[in-house]
Structure 1
Amino acid sequence: MADYKLFSDVVAFDATYRSNKYNKPLVVFSGSNHHKQTVIFGFALLEDEEVRTYRWVLLNLVDVMDNKKPSVVVTDGDKAMRAAIADVLPSARHWLCRWHLEKNCVMRVKESDFRKVFKKAMYANLDVPEFEDYWTTAVQSLGLMNNSWVKSTYELRHTWATAYLQGTFYAGYKTTSRCEGINAFVKGFLKSTNSLLELVHSLDRVVKDYRNNEVTAQFYSTYYTPVLITGLDKIELFASKIYTRSVFKEVRKQIKGVGGLLFLEKDTISTISVYKFSSTANRRSVRRVLYDPTEPKIECDCHMWSSEGIPCTHIFSVMKYEGLDEIPPSLILRRW
């Protein structure tokens, strides 16, 4: 319950296990903690996989957790799950687990070249028109216009394509390994001969193992002193003290990327400045960053902060030009 209170902004809802004596689906509710590790919120052994059953378990979860509802729910795309989520959590954004999507792509589409196309369509930082153009061209060139899986998956693109999910915070669920990792780990503890009592003991051991991982990560974060490598020593040192070790490594990549940006221009309107940058690798792609020193407030149109909860390279470039030594409080996400 304490973990859920802190990290339930994004909740994964998975029911793929029948590895128990009763051959019943086992639901796992999980999320991502401040070390970007999987944290388990709860389990539920269900009678079946009907909409009414999923609705029941979601209502119970919300009730147990003081009526706190997630902003994003990650699932494998099960239709009954989707219907229950829409009913119980109507304001939550539904996100499809990309690990399951990639598995289904391999099984349902025989054209091997499409797997690369699909992966780029999921992960590439394209805007919506670029995504649509890329998808249409690729599907037509591979002759997959009539493939039923390709067509149905495209209709759900707003639940898996980065182009449609920009600005939605996903707490590290952009990678597919999280779903895969928890599936493999839980299955390793569950045996087909388990009784209900043995099943509960096995699940308890799973939770204890995950909590032990967090204790280890917390120890390393507490006593971690980094070697400063970015050239922006004050900002880097400040970040190392604010963030956990795993999140700091991601933040440092963004600080380090400042050297790969080209400053284009700066426009000032009243107290607000608008910076423009391009990358040395792609000079045609221009990013705009708004800086208001009165709040202070820094916003970038790449949406990385709102999606991942860490400032992007473009924001750190503005901090460099403005002589800031600390990350503004408005850009420090409490969960990290």
Structure 2
Amino acid sequence: MGEKTSCVVVTDGDKAMRAAIAEVFPAARHRLFGWHLEKNCVQRVKDTEFRKVFKKAIYANFKVDDFEEYWKTAVESLGLQNNSWVQSTYEVKESWATAYLRGTFCAGYRTTARFEGINAYINGFLKSTDSILELVHSLDRIVKDYRNNEVTAQFYSTYYSPVLTTGLDSIELFASKLYTRAVFRGEKTNQGCYNLAVSWERQHQHNDCLQVFKDGRPCEGIPCSHIFCVMKYEDLEQISDSLIMRRWCKDAKDSRRMPLTTRPGHEGRMLRYAVLCSATSLVLRRAKTLNSLGRAL
């Protein structure tokens, strides 16, 4: 991973995992698995009304003050102030409430379902009777399969020509060239802009303020239909750089996209250091391979 560490870790509420994450990834944000919390709520709190309250507390896009008020009012009205599970869960609210996770990029992850799917896939290649050698060979096949899928996806992203469907040809074509095929096809956020309209406009100092009808589902770093509606209103043909998250772009792995010399201060030095470490590791691996071949000959 080029000496990089995880920024966010999603797990269930296991206390040993919490302690391990705090020790190994002290700078990472630990997010608790939403589905697991809901399941525990059903088992530990018998009040069906609180289950609805708790689900809203997890996923609703509250501000912190609004969340605190909502939680206090709901718990008091349902008489759950002394429930041990409600109290202990509230104490770790920073790990599960969207109000406290605002601004934390989780790439759309709220559960561990994808990881469990990976585990299930790997289990299809493995047997409890496998020897160590067979285990290594099986894992090697799995890694090759994943890498092949990644290369295939990259090929389609590079050479895929989309069918434009929204009528905003310039913006849609720009998005198709920018984002990976999976993101472009899966999100298609600009398609919803025909269901929206700019209701009014007013000047606020040096900024134009636009209000858009109809709320939409927030996307993880991908421009939403509201943004595309305003772009249509302003006759813009490209997505602003400030709205583009590189994580979803076709060139996400291309280190040449932004010259390191343009990166500010400490960040630029750290990036140059990381690139040099990666290049040095590659040279050493190749030297080791050539050395082994020389000995064999």
Give the TM-score taking structure 2 as reference length: 0.69
Residue of structure 2 in register with 1:10 after alignment: none
Residue of structure 1 in register with 2:15 after alignment: 79
The code of the aligned residue for 2:158 comes to T
Tell me, what secondary structure is at the counterpart of 2:246? coil
Matches within 5 A, 1:1-336: 4=1, 65-66=2-3, 68-112=4-48, 114-140=50-76, 142-174=78-110, 177-257=113-193, 259-270=195-206, 273-280=207-214, 308-336=220-248
Distance across 1 between alignment mates of 2:82 and 2:125: 42
Tell me, what secondary structure is at the counterpart of 2:103? coil
Alignment CA distance shift 1:237-1:128 (3 Å): same
Q: Which moved more, 1:313-322 or 1:230-239?
A: 313-322
Answer whether contact 1:99 1:177 (CA < 8 A) is retained.
Answer: no
Distance across 2 between alignment mates of 1:77 and 1:275: 42
Answer whether contact 1:275 1:318 (CA < 8 A) is retained.
Answer: no
Distance across 2 between alignment mates of 1:122 and 1:190: 37
- Deviations 1:33-76, CA, capped at 9 Å, x for gaps: xxxxxxxxxxxxxxxxxxxxxxxxxxxxxxxx43x223222232
Structure with greater helix percent: 2
Tell me, what secondary structure is at the counterpart of 2:247? coil
Q: Unpaired runs of 5+ in structure 2?
A: 249-297
Answer whether contact 2:198 2:213 (CA < 8 A) is retained.
Answer: yes
Distance across 1 between alignment mates of 2:80 and 2:234: 51
**Alpha-carbon shift at residue 173 of structure 1 (Å):** 1.0
**Alpha-carbon shift at residue 311 of structure 1 (Å):** 1.7
Distance across 1 between alignment mates of 2:116 and 2:38: 11
Aligned identity (percent) is 65
**Alpha-carbon shift at residue 170 of structure 1 (Å):** 1.0
Answer whether contact 2:196 2:226 (CA < 8 A) is retained.
Answer: no
Distance across 2 between alignment mates of 1:114 and 1:192: 43
Distance across 1 between alignment mates of 2:109 and 2:142: 20
The code of the aligned residue for 1:330 comes to S
Structure with greater strand percent: 1
Answer whether contact 1:99 1:179 (CA < 8 A) is retained.
Answer: no
Answer whether contact 1:97 1:179 (CA < 8 A) is retained.
Answer: no
Tell me, what secondary structure is at the counterpart of 1:73? strand
Aligned length, in residue pairs: 248
Distance across 2 between alignment mates of 1:200 and 1:111: 49
**Alpha-carbon shift at residue 131 of structure 1 (Å):** 2.7
Alignment CA distance shift 1:177-1:84 (3 Å): closer
Answer whether contact 2:164 2:172 (CA < 8 A) is retained.
Answer: yes
Alignment CA distance shift 1:147-1:224 (3 Å): farther
**Alpha-carbon shift at residue 256 of structure 1 (Å):** 1.9
The code of the aligned residue for 1:276 comes to L
Answer whether contact 1:258 1:314 (CA < 8 A) is retained.
Answer: no
Superposed CA RMSD in Å reads 3.2
The code of the aligned residue for 1:95 comes to R
Tell me, what secondary structure is at the counterpart of 2:199? strand
Tell me, what secondary structure is at the counterpart of 2:9? strand
The code of the aligned residue for 1:87 comes to E
> Whose RCO is larger (CA < 8 A, sep 6+)?
1
Answer whether contact 1:131 1:163 (CA < 8 A) is retained.
Answer: yes
- Deviations 1:298-334, CA, capped at 9 Å, x for gaps: xxxx9x57xx121233332332233210112232222
Answer whether contact 1:262 1:278 (CA < 8 A) is retained.
Answer: yes
The code of the aligned residue for 1:217 comes to A
Distance across 1 between alignment mates of 2:64 and 2:245: 27
Alignment CA distance shift 1:141-1:90 (3 Å): same
Give the TM-score taking structure 1 as reference length: 0.62
- Deviations 1:19-43, CA, capped at 9 Å, x for gaps: xxxxxxxxxxxxxxxxxxxxxxxxx
Alignment CA distance shift 1:111-1:191 (3 Å): farther
Name the larger-Rg structure.
2
Alignment CA distance shift 1:140-1:245 (3 Å): farther
